[in-house]
Structure 1
């Protein structure tokens, strides 16, 4: 390895690039399939309305030039096509500069989507995908060995991701310091997976071991990324194992999958396959990589200061291009799970004996006898926002009424986001939303009732509402 190139990381780079391309593909496909109801021209938070009130500097996006639902769909499916080409290895068929431009395309398209996505795209893994995707532009292809500086920047990103998440926990909920947060987390997390019920019922001493292992992985292991091999590879491998544990225990979109992909770039896999002979990097490429490193170092000041602050923020971008961000998750853990159940009736006037039928969501808990499904890395945006709506009605105010209105009109794009609509022929006359407390059943209750959840009525979230 010379001062610029690290041939031993050729295979790790390949795994990283193909994994990132796959996640780009998932992200673009999700945007194409969900945007019309969420941010389309007739969506709950329409892009044209957003662009009319937000200046260009605050949200640079391709859609400043033109917006229509057809154009957005073209950008989303176009991004998916480029991602599929990258997944197939198209960047390896191009000269170095051509490969860099090809990787720049999905980054620019997804940035344009995120910057008009508003609340629906206000998740930390959006910025993480953009920051990772921008660094991938400079990682090169088979025409050059992986640059040491870019590999270092990817480790710096992984460090901030893990260490930031560890610090926010230690500074946040006392249950992390007491090692008791996992008594509740698997039950109250935003979107449980098919194995979350079983994780919740693990013995409590094992939950304490999980919490302690999490602290070690997030607060100690990240520093080992900057040590010599094979220690750095062992640290990255341990992070990958931890992320796989999180993947099977919940649905966190592509957050954990992307962490695995980033960690793969730190693996020295030269022992598995001898790296091919790669030519020396051209001078212009070295200059570009050095310039990138200087820019990232300068932009890292505010995220680093945030890491050291007692008032640490989670999942925040400090620049509109999302180049260097701060991350964190679950600084607090809920002890009780509340869910909003949305129902409709065809009665012209709601009566005490009216029949109310429930809408079912794809991922959000609803019917107590339905085992949650695995959707990650696919991101069900409406389901996630419904979890936040149960935590804070004020958070849902900008879009929840619009959601109800679309149920009352039988909007097809909105209904496609749901698993089941109980009104296939005509929309209901009234829609209401009820508030329930959900908890996992015990083993005995599961055997007796076949239900994974037990729910208790709390109150009315939204009274019966009809179109004016």
Structure 2
């Protein structure tokens, strides 16, 4: 079955699998460090309460057999340890079946977390990691030649990621068609990075070039991925370059890094490498899984062609084939929900988050590929209170109680009440914008902010509250 193999892609497979294991490691570390506060037994959205209303078919997960914070920690840290081993080459140092098992376990453990993660795990890059991880099972290890089928399916993922993002932009906000969206995006994106202020201050003609180049790469390069070499490698290089630009300009968790990882699989050495004969059972499994992916691709492909295209949706609970997209609309103004506490009800002090804007003088930091889940959801909360309705009141009550797990989600020095919890907490809404060059020189501040008004009425140790 040599016609099913592509030995010249041994380097692409190596880069893809090692990088993907690194992304898995980040995902498991995020779960281990944030999961208890967000979805633990006493978290903001507890897993036991969620699973009480979900069947195995709706949310397949190891936690359907029983949840505890200790089991969640075991899954998270166990997944992190396995990811380290795979990134170090363990899956290549064992027989083929054992290498496949390593990747299958990584996929199963992370699937178990995502399917109970609720709104905290509703991001497209969760499905992207799972879909890529499932294909890694059928990519083999160093004992067999890379299968052409799996390599093509990896490019099919990358095609959907890039073209999905490109089409949703052209079909969505008119500023993408007018090439003006980047007048706003660097300032209003969910979590700006350390260089976002400078990106925002680029001349407007360069912003238009940015937007135009984005369209060319997202809609043109994915098609070229299916060209003979070196065309596919050149297309992958364009995608990697664009993704690195996005890494520099903002914090998008591991979305850019998984996309880069997918593109690396298209790298070919241009020569063949000798491999033993591919086991028949492995070739059969690869072809069978390829057929399954083709069947499951019907709805995502139809979504790409639809004028009512949706972004970031899983069409199956195993996240095997999904639809992707980003920033079909761009907000023109930035609002931030600021959480505040008070000891006396008169003097209010703000809680500071790790990544999202707070203190105007604090420069945005680089966190990606690490994912600050609460910070991201706070951005969505500022867009629409409906996003925060299930968890914001519990979050305020945790602050009122001085809950240690919740406070760990904030900056180390972000708790203005380190000795005793406040008597009152509230949420207010501010309008944020990047300072001008003159303001930056005069004040040293990165942001200028103005109070818009209340967002959530105050809670106290004596009274409860309702939404504004």
Normalized against structure 2, the TM-score is what?
Answer: 0.97
Match of 1:230 in 2: 230
What is the number of equivalent residue pairs in this alignment? Answer: 460
The answer on whether the counterparts of 1:28 and 1:79 sit within 8 Å (CA) in structure 2 is yes
Structure 1 residue ranges without an equivalent (≥5): none
Aligned with 1:460: secondary structure? strand
Match of 1:291 in 2: 288
The yes-or-no answer on 1:466 pairing with 2:460 is yes
Match of 1:122 in 2: 122
Superposed CA offset, 1:100-149 (max 9, x none): 00111110000000000000000000000000000000101110010000
The answer on whether the counterparts of 2:8 and 2:273 sit within 8 Å (CA) in structure 1 is no
Q: Distance in 1 between matches of 2:258 and 2:210?
A: 21
Q: Distance in 1 between matches of 2:326 and 2:119?
A: 17
1:434 CA displacement: 1.1
Match of 2:322 in 1: 325
Match of 1:60 in 2: 60
Which of 387, 395, 415 is equivalent to 1:395?
387
Aligned with 2:141: secondary structure? coil
The answer on whether the counterparts of 1:11 and 1:275 sit within 8 Å (CA) in structure 2 is no
The answer on whether the counterparts of 2:104 and 2:137 sit within 8 Å (CA) in structure 1 is yes
Match of 2:405 in 1: 413
The yes-or-no answer on 1:457 pairing with 2:451 is yes
Superposed CA offset, 1:238-272 (max 9, x none): 000000000010000000000000000011134xx
1:275 CA displacement: 5.7
5 Å-filtered alignment, 1:413-432, equals: 413-419=405-411, 420-432=414-426
- Quick one: structure 1 residues 336 and 4, their matched pair in 2 at CA, closer, same or farther if it must change by over 3 Å? same
RMSD: 0.9
5 Å-filtered alignment, 1:142-291, equals: 142-270=142-270, 276-291=273-288
1:391 CA displacement: 0.4
Structure 2 residue ranges without an equivalent (≥5): 464-468
1:26 CA displacement: 0.5
Q: Distance in 1 between matches of 2:320 and 2:228?
A: 27
Match of 1:376 in 2: 368
Q: Distance in 2 between matches of 1:340 and 1:297?
A: 43
Aligned with 1:398: secondary structure? coil
Match of 1:443 in 2: 437
Match of 2:466 in 1: none
Superposed CA offset, 1:338-377 (max 9, x none): 0011110111xx2xxx211110000000000000000000
Aligned with 1:439: secondary structure? strand
Match of 1:82 in 2: 82
Which of 297, 300, 307 is equivalent to 1:300?
297
